[in-house]
Amino acid sequence: MIGIIDYGAGNLHSVLKAIKQLGYETKLISGNSDHTDEITKIILPGVGNAKVAMDVLYSTGLSDYLKERVSAGIPLLGICLGMQLLLETSEEGNVLCLGLLKGAVPEFTDESEKIPHMGWNQVKDTQSHFLFENIPDETDFYFVHSYFAKPELQEDILGATNYGIHFASVIGNSQVMGVQFHPEKSGKYGIQLLDNFCKQGGI
């Protein structure tokens, strides 16, 4: 069963709908949820402000829940802001994040490009990963963000995108991973990526 973290993120229901349409069982996980062991994978969606999001995750106990589940070996996928929250710190509100991956989240400062970075842009695979299965290299995905992930470890950069600078648009490892774009808004290849995450290792 796919657990989707409910902390008020704007794209929660579009992610939920996409996962259900793929045929997977889902469960919304909030601070008041019965966190059962039936959850085999977790998605952390995200639209909004990093500090506000982390305040909710801390106050509801969801931050501890995510860390505990990751420690137990449960795969986790962060989407957009949810990806940024996987790192250690964010300049958006100068907040401490989940720290599941080493690195920080700075703000775009290149004045040659409009901020936020909004619209379709290419993702270049930088290493082989099951998230990219059946997805052509340099596929376009849909982005909306003003901050970007800067992993400390080169090995945690799975895909990269250019927008004034080259930045990490897919990060992680075999268990904890994140995508800066919105797969639920990125057509068939975005849905393919969600399916790749959900089916990896069985349900």
- The structural domains of the chain, ordered by start, are 2-199 (3.40.50.880)
Q: How far is CA 175 from CA 15, 40, 74, 76, 111, in A?
A: 19, 12, 7, 6, 35
Q: Is the pTM of this model over 0.85?
A: yes
Task: Report the catalytic residues.
Answer: 80, 182, 184
Task: Give 116-167 pLDDT, tens digit per residue.
Answer: 999 999 999 999 999 999 999 999 999 999 999 999 999 999 999 999 899 9
pLDDT for the residue 103: 98
105: Cβ–Cβ under 8 A, 6 or more apart, which residues? 50, 84, 87, 89, 90, 91, 92, 97, 147, 148, 149, 150
pLDDT for the residue 203: 45
Percentage of the chain surpassing pLDDT 90? 85
**For range 88-107, the mean pLDDT:** 97
Pair 53, 80: CB distance under 8 Å: no
Largest Cα–Cα distance in the chain? 48
Task: Give 161-185 pLDDT, tens digit per residue.
Answer: 999 899 999 999 999 999 999 999 9
